Amino acid sequence: MSRLAIKICGLSTPDTVDAALKAGASHLGFVFFPKSPRHVDFDKAAGLVARVPQHVVGVGVMVDPDDETLSRAVQAGVKTFQLHGHEAPERVAAIRDRFGVDIWKAISVKTRADLEQGRAYVGIADFLLYDAKTPDGAALPGGMGLRFDWTLLRGFAPPLPWGLSGGLDPESVADAVAITGAPLVDVSSGVESAPGIKDVDKIAAFCKAIS
């Protein structure tokens, strides 16, 4: 499929899962992090993941998870982990060895030098997600509508397959893709009417903006 890959993250209801699928999303994200307004428990997530067809990827988003959390995510049907905390390469390698799933590692970006952090995960992670660095002491590591300077990615060759996250919305995503050449875009707060409340019309508009 030549069209841009799209991940709608932080889904928590059947109607928004269905809206993302109808709009053409290639990846759906389910957040397992109690501090997040997008958090879903594992039983609820299992019902949502069950709605996802085989050609669409269900991604479990976690922050410095312990093995029990990871096991529960697998039981819920998630086959890809997005690690969005401070997971060191050694921890990521251990997770991959134990669970045998595809692993995305989020890289927090504020400066050009931050992009280089991804090199430590070559041979360990399958995919890098460049996201905006949140302020020190922030309650959440992502999903806050922050963006970094997208021009930092100009001329940069990511060492792994990659995607762009942070501050994307229906109005900005086309420019973001034009500036960065991102092959995948990941949106959460940019398609919400309130924190944690996805808007089906915004989901449709986001996907249409780059279709």
Known catalytic residues are 9, 131
Helix (H, G, I), strand (E, B) or coil at 124: coil
The DSSP line for 153-203 is GTT---SS-EEEESS--TTTHHHHHHHH--SEEEESGGGEEETTEE-HHHH
Give the three-state DSSP class for 65: coil
How far CA 190 is from CA of 9, 83, 144, in Å, comes to 10, 20, 9
The CA distance from 69 to 7, in Å, is: 22
Distance between CA 188 and CA 175 in Å, rounded? Answer: 17
**Strand 27-31 relative to strand 57-62: parallel, antiparallel, unpaired?**
parallel
